Amino acid sequence: MSWHDGVDRALIYWGPTIDPDACVSCGMCMNCGKKVFDWVDGKPVVARFGDCIPGCSTCMNLCLGNAISFPPIEDLREFYRQHNVWTHVKKEFIEKGIIKCK
């Protein structure tokens, strides 16, 4: 499955930023399935910004200190519009039989 249908991930500006002053070292961000964060000196650091799944913000939603932020979702949605990502992903899902259209 493609989250961005072959668009070079390096072109998609999406990933977390941590405010170290707000971070309470709860460790929730370390649950990231893409292993975007490393733990350094008792705090998380964004180690693999480009590995974050575009649109995901689970770490931000669960951060106890509200220390994690992301670029505006509308910027990502506009990028998807400009690159016809939704159309291509839907076509891929239809071809794979994941969704059916009349």
In this prediction, residue 1 carries a pLDDT of 45
In this prediction, residue 88 carries a pLDDT of 86
pTM: 0.86
CA 64, 59, 87, 101 dihedral sign is: negative
Closest CA to 44 of 62, 71, 67: 67
Domains, the chain: 9-95 (3.30.70.20)
Q: How far apart are CA 92 and CA 1, in angstroms?
A: 8
Longest CA–CA span in the chain (Å) reads 55
pLDDT digits (tens, 9 = 90+) for 20-69: 999 999 999 999 999 999 999 999 999 999 999 999 999 999 999 999 99
The three-state secondary structure class of 5 is: coil
